Amino acid sequence: MNNLPFRAFLTSNMDLEKAEIKKLLETCGQQEFAKGQVLLSPGQKCQHTFYVGKGLLRQYSLDNKGKEHVLQFAPEEWFMTDRESSYFGQESIYYIEALEDSLIFLIEEQHIIQLMDNFPGFAEFNNKLLHNHIRHLQQRINSLLSDPAEQRYLKFISTYPDLLVRVPQWMIASYLGITPEGLSRVRREMASRYDH
């Protein structure tokens, strides 16, 4: 199994013992997903945390009018899951979709719990990931509630610097909570200021 992308991430980002890394790599699977393939659909129970070795994922929901609302993106070296579904055993309300051909490492929730019980270093690693995710979501909620569209766009660029050329503009607009026309207007206004 070619687990080099995930092994390299674990080795370079976290202070884990070799035995912890070995055990984690043994318990996680890997799968290639084609562009447009869905990893999770509403009504399913999320069984995995997904680590992106290559490619790009997005998590989104549909409202009762069929409009998409993008919650987050996950490019290379990012994790994505539906915590509410995987941890609490509830049916998901989200889609997780591959936006590009992607190599994904799949970590089962039960294996995460076992690793946390058996390896203190992994428990700390998982705790940092979880708190970082919570921090990111809090900042995102606050931004959606209080920041003007341009500020939200600048924060998107800061969070996902390479996604402007990888993600359709309407998806970025959905993530920002504005219309595609609103995003075009923000970009025009920013460009006109920088042109002068």
pLDDT value of position 129: 86
Band (pLDDT 50/70/90 cuts) for residue 14 is: low
Indicate the domain borders of the chain. 4-146, 147-196
The structural architecture, per CATH, of the domain 4-146 is Sandwich (2.60)
Average pLDDT over residues 51-66: 96
Band (pLDDT 50/70/90 cuts) for residue 57 is: very high
Percent pLDDT > 70 in the chain is 95
d(CA 164, CA 49): 25
Q: Alpha carbon of 116 to those of 51, 78, 127: distances in Å?
A: 18, 20, 9
- DSSP per residue, 5-70: HHHHHHHHHS---HHHHHHHHHH-EEEEE-TT-EEE-TTSBP-EEEEEEES-EEEEEE-TTS-EEE
Is residue 195 over pLDDT 70? Answer: no
pLDDT value of position 87: 87
Band (pLDDT 50/70/90 cuts) for residue 23 is: confident
Band (pLDDT 50/70/90 cuts) for residue 25 is: confident
Which of 109-113, 148-152, 153-157 has the lowest average pLDDT?
A: 109-113
Band (pLDDT 50/70/90 cuts) for residue 3 is: low
User: Please, what is the average pLDDT of the chain?
Assistant: 90
Average pLDDT over residues 20-48: 90
Entry field: residues in the chain: 196
Average pLDDT over residues 166-195: 92
